[in-house]
A and B are shown apart, each in its own frame.
Chain A
Amino acid sequence: MEVYNSIYDIVAGNMEEKGEHFGYQKSTFLCDVGMHPQSIDITRFLELDNHHFYEAIYVVAYRRLPEKKEIAFWEGKEMLPKEQFQKEVLKNIAGSSVVAINQIKLINNPYFNQKIGLKYHFMGILYGLTDKSCLREFGKKLPQPIQKLIRKVFL
């Protein structure tokens, strides 16, 4: 890990020399190193404070930094107790299409068991949709209003 630590410092230093700021936190990078492409080991992130936690989880799961709207949303919740905050972030990530489509598993998650597939009640009958990945991909191709409706009913 020392090597990655040094590389991060070199890059961040080079950016600073040019008057720029490297947008990724060191903690995000170090948590991400060695991560399996489809499994996110949550224990690696539990020690992070709320601010660093959501950034690191976003980068590992979505492979991008949180967007402005997302930053504003999570910053508004940073005052929450650590466990509650982490649980909310993870719930949000676990329910996302990116995670479903890429079949990303949150492992060693102390807060909840990640659902695989969807279950819902309709007219008193329990329905199960197991192939969530395919459905999500199909759903992504539908017009926005229909996507919204589906989200409302099923998710």
Chain B
Amino acid sequence: MKVYIDVTVLTLATFVTGIQRVTREVAVRLIQDVRFEIVLIHYNAKKNCYYQIDNKKFCEYYCKHLGIKEMMITRREVPLKEIGKGTCFFDLDASWMSRVKRSYLLPVLKNQGTRIIAHIYDIISINYPQFCLERGVYNFMDYIGAHIQYADAIIVNAQATKNDLKKLGERTNVVMPPCYVVPLGADFGTQRTISDAEVPDKLFKIASGFPYILMVGTIEPRKNHKLLLEAYDKGLREMGYNIIFAGYMGWKMEEFQNRLFHHRDYGKRIFHFSGLDDVSIIYLYQHARFLAFCSYMEGFGLPIIEAIAKGTPVIAADVEVLKEVAEGCCVWFEQDNVEMLCNLIRKYEDEELYCNLKAEMKKLRFVTWEESAEFYKNILSQFDNF
């Protein structure tokens, strides 16, 4: 089965987190399965053409950090007419950021008889646009509008997103294509314990100092980083906890940024790291007292299951999708309730209670990327021989 995947956004990105990580993990596993002929494509805006990516170099670069990214892109042009009947177009990446609008591309492919499978991570841009970058919302409106009309199947990662899509279909009078829920893998990066020598000195010193509460993910409004900062001022500081924010400084965060960088303890007990590699992130997970997840909403909440898989307890806001993904695995607090957040962390200062929590977590088992990829493969296989 021949499957085309547009990975333009991944290949242009300077980091591999969130959706880029999902794209990498799934694409690599599809390539390695002989049942599929995977054609990764990259759009060159100047030439207005897709170029094929060398699968071997792609895997080497994203799995073993070998080679140069630009060298993955071959000179073989992939004209749209090539993606025709009998093939499948799997829109896995964050393609609403691509120059090729899906409202242009998908009707062309559909007319050629291509099967279109969309991966919708969430529709936060539609339901909560106030948290998003306006330009991103604008692009996403086009993307989602095209996919709900032209996709033959949609893959989501949570039932909550499926429900949101159903509601969107009702409001836009679109008969939605079949929608499949596929859980994401929790086992990112290496499964071994990261030694102190493998991370930068600064990170080692911070991680081995006061116990710390960690937040991982792009710093953007919907992730509610300000709540943890508030919790620090209202109790965590006194309890002797540090705070570490690991993630890129995103959009609409000027106020938070100002507050963070001018905090009296910034650089002493409150830290921000951007652009950390997988090894450093895993190291931070392994040494954190808690991963805090204060989001107002999420598509899946990948860091939660990643942290638990690494043995780090998670304290999370009781958001529908997070409860769906990690019910029974987290300590939950009411959204935006800073007192409750502090009280729960205080409660788990009791070492016996904390050890019991960690022991409970060890019994949990999440889907691995291998297993997650099998779900993707099964769905794609259904569209073979159409």
Contact = CB atoms under 8 A, between A and B. Distances in A.
Interface of A: 2-4, 6-8, 10-11, 14-15, 18, 20, 22-24, 29, 32-38, 59, 63-65, 101-103, 133
Given A4-B145, A6-B171, A22-B129, 10 more contacts: A3-B148, A3-B149, A3-B174, A11-B137, A34-B101, A37-B104, A38-B45, A101-B46, A102-B46, A103-B48
A34 B104 contact: yes
A37 B99 contact: yes
Given A20-B130, A32-B142, A37-B99, A10 B168 contact: yes
Interface string B153-180: 0000000000000001001111000000
Nearest to A28: B138
B103 interface: yes
Given A14-B130, A22-B137, A34-B104, A7 B144 contact: yes
B134 A37 contact: no
B104 A7 contact: no
A21 B173 CA distance: 25
Given A4-B103, A4-B141, A7-B126, A24 B46 contact: no
12 contacts: A4-B145, A7-B172, A8-B141, A14-B128, A14-B130, A15-B129, A20-B130, A24-B134, A33-B145, A38-B48, A103-B46, A133-B46
B100 interface: yes
Interface in B103-154: 103-104, 107, 125-130, 134-135, 137-138, 141-142, 144-145, 148-149
A10 to B, nearest CB: 6
A125 B305 CA distance: 69
Interface of B: 43, 45-46, 48, 99-101, 103-104, 107, 125-130, 134-135, 137-138, 141-142, 144-145, 148-149, 168, 171-174
A37 B141 contact: no
A4 B102 CA distance: 12
A35 B48 contact: no
**Closest A-B pairs by Cβ, 6 of them:** A6-B172, A18-B130, A38-B48, A34-B103, A4-B145, A33-B103
Contact of A3 (B99, B129, B130, B172): B172
A3 B129 CA distance: 18
Given A32-B142, A37-B99, A103-B48, A11 B130 contact: no
Contact of B129 (A11, A35, A63, A64): A11
Contacts of A133: 46
Contacts of B128: 14
A32 B174 CA distance: 21
Contacts of A34: 101, 103-104, 107
B46 A35 contact: no
A33 B171 CA distance: 19
Contacts of B104: 34-37
Contacts of A101: 46
A7 B129 contact: no
Contacts of A103: 46, 48
B172 to A, nearest CB: 4
A60 B126 CA distance: 21
Contacts of B43: 37
B57 to A, nearest CB: 25
Nearest to A103: B46
A24 B172 contact: no
Contacts of A15: 129-130
Contacts of B127: 14
Contacts of B145: 3-4, 7, 33
B142 A4 contact: yes
Contacts of A14: 126-130
A130 B43 CA distance: 24
A37 B130 contact: no
